[in-house]
């Protein structure tokens, strides 16, 4: 189980995007499990969680761009990873309208560069490619999207994540198919993709994301400006999908070591990680919950001329439950409470507070 994490102890982990919000949380968690963490990422933004946690001296902190073929190949060659978690991405919908080429080259070409470098491995390696719940062709009809549903995306970010899914599936089928792995014809590299819902949690300082935007507004004693108050999202604490990534990686690795074709076929594919259906809430609900812990006010800032953002998105997670035994642990209210508590804790104790939240989360049984 992920709560024990023994499989990661002493293992070599390659984590791309380790200076980002989710990457920093995952690096901290893996280090607490005794893993040897090697990162490849762009430099952290000023004041980033990566620096708040003091991660640089505790792991191999390698700066580089996943679009750089030579840099990625050298990293994989040097690290010889047992596990790869590919999180490096341009992760903001609104920014994708401003710079669509950066979005596509980072999210699609960058993913392809990581996959290409893995062909040099000769040892078992479990690979989790992180994409997004926004990779689906979302018709906003209120239905739950499942892993076999059509991919798509109206905005550049969503389309780039759908494309990353297609690139990964084609790479797996072409170069790391289960049949070829079992026959010993290709390296024993098992690859899956992970599609997570909207994550919240302490240490997210990005622009155009509702929680950090809300905390900045409240700190300035201004109302929270809410662009899409009625939009429904699958909100979850950042530890929820990260726990899913770890669980998925564990199962891939076990199937590789056991040379089980049937199990590899089950775990090498796409997986959704999202909250329980009752925790798919509106942006208005999220802001209201934030204001229970940090008093203030909010204002409707809807703009009809703003770039398109989906108003409705629901994820089905029954595959992750059935195949991996994964389920969410913190409900909506608990996730918001832990998030705001992180921001309200003394900044000098970010590392210790983050560790306490990881430990508290890991000790809770899945719902």
**When comparing pLDDT for 204 and 366, which is higher?**
204
Assess whether pLDDT exceeds 60 at residue 2: no
In a domain, 51, yes or no: yes
Range of the structural domain that residue 148 is part of: 6-362
d(C-alpha 52, C-alpha 221), whole Å? 24
Q: Do 45 and 16 form a contact (C-beta atoms < 8 A)?
A: no
**When comparing pLDDT for 83 and 206, which is higher?**
83
In a domain, 45, yes or no: yes
Longest dimension (CA), the chain: 64
In a domain, 69, yes or no: yes
**When comparing pLDDT for 141 and 155, which is higher?**
155
In the chain, count of helices (H) and strands (E)? Answer: 15, 15
d(C-alpha 71, C-alpha 128), whole Å? 20
Assess whether pLDDT exceeds 50 at residue 3: no
State both tokens at 281.
């809430």
In a domain, 1, yes or no: no
In a domain, 327, yes or no: yes
Q: Give the lowest-confidence range in 303-312, 313-322, 340-349.
A: 303-312
Assess whether pLDDT exceeds 90 at residue 216: yes
Assess whether pLDDT exceeds 50 at residue 1: no
Assess whether pLDDT exceeds 80 at residue 308: no
Assess whether pLDDT exceeds 70 at residue 247: yes
Assess whether pLDDT exceeds 60 at residue 224: yes
State both tokens at 316.
């089905």
Could you tell me the CATH number of the domain that includes residue 54? Answer: 3.40.50.720
Assess whether pLDDT exceeds 70 at residue 323: yes
Mean per-residue pLDDT, 199-221: 92
The Cα angle at residue 258 between residues 255 and 261, in degrees rounded to 5: 60
| pLDDT attached to residue 211 | 94
**When comparing pLDDT for 219 and 312, which is higher?**
219
State both tokens at 97.
């309208």
Question: Which of these, 224, 225, 41, 7, lies nearest to 126 by C-alpha position?
Answer: 7
In a domain, 140, yes or no: yes
| pLDDT attached to residue 53 | 96
Whole-number average pLDDT of the chain? 93
In a domain, 128, yes or no: yes
The structural domain count of the chain equals 1
Q: How confident is the model at residue 5 (pLDDT cuts 50, 70, 90)?
A: confident
d(C-alpha 55, C-alpha 33), whole Å? 15
| pLDDT attached to residue 197 | 82
| pLDDT attached to residue 296 | 93
Ramachandran angles phi, psi of 298, nearest 5°: -135, 160
In a domain, 367, yes or no: no
| pLDDT attached to residue 304 | 67
Q: How confident is the model at residue 365 (pLDDT cuts 50, 70, 90)?
A: confident
């Amino acid at each position: 189980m992920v709560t024990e994490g023994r499989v990661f102890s002493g293992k070599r982990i390659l984590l791309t995007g380790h200076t980002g919000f989710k990457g920093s949380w995952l690096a901290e968690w893996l280090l607490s499990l005794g893993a040897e963490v090697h990162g490849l990422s762009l430099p952290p933004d000023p004041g980033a969680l990566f620096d708040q946690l003091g991660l640089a001296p505790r792991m191999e902190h390698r700066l580089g761009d996943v679009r750089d073929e030579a840099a990625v190949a050298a990293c994989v060659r040097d690290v010889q990873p047992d596990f790869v978690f590919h999180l490096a991405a341009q992760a903001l919908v609104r920014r994708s309208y401003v710079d669509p080429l950066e979005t596509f080259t980072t999210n699609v070409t960058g993913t392809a560069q990581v996959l290409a470098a893995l062909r040099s491995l000769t040892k078992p390696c479990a690979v989790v490619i992180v994409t997004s719940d926004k990779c689906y062709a979302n018709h906003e009809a209120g239905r739950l999207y499942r892993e076999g549903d059509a991919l798509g995306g109206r905005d550049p970010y969503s389309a780039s994540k759908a494309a990353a899914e297609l690139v990964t599936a084609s790479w797996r089928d072409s170069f790391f198919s289960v049949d070829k792995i079992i026959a010993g014809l290709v390296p024993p590299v098992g690859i899956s993709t992970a599609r997570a819902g909207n994550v919240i949690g302490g240490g997210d300082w990005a622009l155009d994301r509702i929680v950090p935007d809300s905390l900045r507004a409240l700190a300035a004693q201004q109302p929270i400006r809410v662009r899409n108050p009625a939009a429904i999202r699958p909100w979850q604490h950042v530890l929820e999908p990260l726990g899913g990534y770890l669980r998925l990686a564990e199962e891939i690795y076990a199937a590789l070591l056991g040379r089980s074709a049937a199990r590899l076929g089950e775990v090498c594919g796409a997986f959704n990680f999202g909250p329980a259906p009752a925790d798919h809430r509106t942006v208005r609900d999220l802001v209201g919950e934030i204001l229970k812990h940090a008093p203030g006010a909010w204002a409707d800032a809807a703009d009809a001329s703003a770039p398109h953002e989906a108003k409705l998105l629901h994820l089905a997670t029954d595959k992750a439950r059935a195949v991996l035994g994964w389920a969410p642990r913190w409900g909506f209210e608990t996730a918001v409470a832990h998030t705001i508590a992180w921001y309200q804790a003394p900044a000098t104790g970010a590392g210790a507070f983050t560790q306490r939240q990881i430990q508290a989360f890991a000790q809770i049984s899945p719902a």
